[in-house]
């Protein structure tokens, strides 16, 4: 049974005091929600605080999308370093904003999906604990033409099962490697692609994100648009990781 709480609940003893967002009582699991972001040093991090990311999204403009099979276009490491020993086990729930926008006038078809790898890092050595992918999105007739669909995006809900208990000592790292995979259907074509990671959930486009680097492509964004044009609705850019910790009742 999962129990939600309206505000974080503190549990534990002494230095092991932990703030949980919600609980799975039957499994003895307490979840903490973390948010992915990018710092001024260029590194990706996760934090329980909804801070502003240095960049709202990672993106590639006018990127060639091959029709020769799915190609990994994004490979982003989001790291959490533990200051106290922790134990994780169960289902990690990861929300990944990912999308594509047109960069050519003629209609083009694409597919894309997100993959999340949950990794333990000790002294720079990675141990994969679990991996999973989102559903594959099929986009048809993507074009910059005025009467065509210019955007397609989703917030993927990737559930990664870590069935075995994983112990983390002080100073060890929990890493989420977020991947974005794309393929051109029928022909290789250019497209603008992005993965969002802003805890403050700001819109990602050149009009609403003036602090983003200038891509030269005003149509680049994480957005949904109805077929044959229409009102653009920007999807969330908040990247979330729901981490299952084994509750220490000692």
Q: What is the DSSP string of 96-145?
A: EEEEEEE-SSS-EEEEEEEEEEEEEEETTEEEEEEEEE-PPEEEEEE-SS
Select from 71, 106, 63 the least CA-distant residue to 194: 63
Select from 32, 34, 33, 26 the least CA-distant residue to 2: 26
Calculate Rg over the CA atoms of the chain.
Answer: 19
Per mean pLDDT, which range of 51-55, 94-98, 100-104, 227-231 is the poorest?
Answer: 227-231
What confidence score (pLDDT) does residue 17 get? 42
Q: How confident is the model at residue 4 (pLDDT cuts 50, 70, 90)?
A: low
- What would the pLDDT profile of 153-204 be if each residue is shown by its tens digit? 999 999 999 999 999 999 999 999 999 999 999 999 999 999 999 999 988 8
Is the Cβ–Cβ distance between 130 and 92 less than 8 Å? yes
Is the Cβ–Cβ distance between 196 and 204 less than 8 Å? yes
Who's near 236: CB < 8 A, 6+ residues apart?
95, 97, 155, 196, 201
**What's the pTM?**
0.87
What confidence score (pLDDT) does residue 155 get? 95
CATH topology of domain 2-246: Jelly Rolls (2.60.120)
200 versus 233: the higher-pLDDT residue is 200
d(CA 36, CA 55): 11
Q: What percent of the chain has pLDDT over 70?
A: 81
Q: Indicate the average pLDDT of the chain.
A: 85
d(CA 165, CA 222): 36
Give me the phi and psi of 25, to 5 degrees please.
Answer: -65, -40
d(CA 162, CA 129): 6
249 versus 102: the higher-pLDDT residue is 102
Average pLDDT rounded to a whole number, residues 42-66 = 92
Strand pairing class (2-11; 29-38): unpaired
d(CA 139, CA 66): 15
């Amino acid at each position: 049974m999962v129990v939600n709480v309206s505000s974080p609940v503190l549990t534990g003893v002494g230095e092991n005091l932990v703030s949980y967002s919600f609980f799975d009582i039957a499994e003895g699991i307490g979840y903490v929600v973390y948010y992915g972001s990018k710092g001024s040093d260029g590194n990706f991090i996760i934090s329980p605080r909804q801070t502003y990311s240095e960049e709202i999204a990672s993106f590639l403009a006018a990127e060639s999308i091959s029709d020769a099979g799915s190609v990994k276009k994004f490979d982003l490491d989001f790291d959490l370093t533990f200051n106290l020993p922790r134990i994780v086990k169960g289902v990690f729930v990861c929300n990944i904003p990912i999308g594509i926008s047109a960069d050519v006038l003629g209609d083009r078809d694409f597919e894309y999906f997100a993959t999340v790898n949950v990794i333990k890092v000790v002294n720079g050595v990675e141990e994969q604990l679990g991996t999973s992918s989102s559903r594959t999105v099929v986009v048809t007739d993507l074009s910059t033409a005025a009467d065509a669909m210019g955007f397609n995006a989703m917030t993927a809900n990737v559930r990664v099962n870590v069935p075995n208990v994983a112990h983390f000592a002080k100073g060890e790292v929990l890493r989420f490697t977020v991947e974005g995979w794309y393929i051109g259907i029928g022909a290789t074509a250019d497209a603008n692609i992005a993965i969002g990671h802003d805890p403050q959930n700001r819109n990602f486009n050149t009009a609403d994100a003036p602090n983003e680097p200038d891509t030269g492509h005003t149509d680049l964004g994480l957005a949904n648009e109805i077929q044959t044009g229409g009102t653009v609705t920007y999807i969330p850019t908040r990247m979330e990781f729901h981490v299952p910790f084994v509750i220490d009742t000692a």
